[in-house]
Amino acid sequence: AQSVSQHNHHVILSEAASLELGCNYSYGGTVNLFWYVQYPGQHLQLLLKYFSGDPLVKGIKGFEAEFIKSKFSFNLRKPSVQWSDTAEYFCAVNEGSGGGADGLTFGKGTHLIIQP
Amino acid sequence: DGGITQSPKYLFRKEGQNVTLSCEQNLNHDAMYWYRQDPGQGLRLIYYSQIVNDFQKGDIAEGYSVSREKKESFPLTVTSAQKNPTAFYLCASSVLPRGPESYNEQFFGPGTRLTVL
């Protein structure tokens, strides 16, 4: 079975600081990788995704993530965070061979707080 | 507006009662999913369905049941056999991948917070 590890459960940063949230997964085959964000009181929404190709993917709101296959990692980054980035962030994975219609495996989430 | 609706937003039930959570989508998606979210635990897959009248167990299906009689609807029943039912329940949907090397983005509903007293 797959598993996803997010290294930091709680992160507190000041505005304009750089952000990196770690994500590692256990599956050794082809994977699809996702970062979802849950802003306070809002639906879970997709930040970015990786399926194949360029391992550096860009998402919404200035976020990006890098897939490093040798490290089984898909870390999320943002060069300068804003107060509005305060949210819960989830890394998720599914097996690429199955086409991904059989559900996602999520990490436990990182609660990010940005202080003005 | 296209999207996923879940009702109710908050639900309270007495211990030992079954309860059914609603999920409806008008995105014309074939696949639908139910997840459970607990604080500090992330989301865990309960059941999923790729086609009408068919569904599969996820990682934590015990104590839950589903049906998929219509493409648009995927209700979840939390039965009295579920030992710890108090949680936030999220429904999602997606298109089916078009081939072995495609992927699906899942779209999520607003969730239902179930509290069992």
Tell me whether A67 touches chain B (CB under 8 Å): no
Beta strand A10-14 with A110-115 is parallel
| B102 pLDDT above the threshold of 70 | no
The torsion defined by the Cα of B23, B94, B37 and B10, in degrees rounded to 10, comes to: -20
On chain B, the residues whose CB falls within 8 A of the CB of A101 are 30-31, 48, 50, 94, 96-97, 104
Task: Report whether A87 contacts A112 (CB < 8 A).
Answer: yes
Mean pLDDT of each 10-residue bin along chain A, 116 residues long: 89 97 88 93 91 91 95 96 97 73 89 95
Q: Nearest CA to A101 among B35, B108, B103?
A: B103
Q: Please state, rounded to an integer, the average pLDDT across all residues of chain B.
A: 91
Contacts of B102 in chain A (CB under 8 A): 51, 99-100
Between chains, do B100 and A97 touch, taking CB under 8 Å as contact? yes
A8 in contact with B, Cβ within 8 Å = no
How many residues comprise chain B? 117
For residue B39, the surrounding DSSP H or E stretch is none
B17 pLDDT above the threshold of 80: yes
Structure confidence at residue A29 (pLDDT): 79
Residue B48 sits at the chain A interface (C-beta within 8 Å): yes
| C-alpha distances out from residue B2 to A101, B28, B67, B96, B116, Å | 20, 9, 22, 18, 31
**What's the CA gap between A18 and A35, in Å, rounded?**
17
Number of H helices, E strands in chain A: 0, 12
Nearest Cα neighbor of B60 from B80, B43, B39 is B43
Average pLDDT (B44-54) is: 95
* pLDDT exceeds cutoff 90 at B57: yes
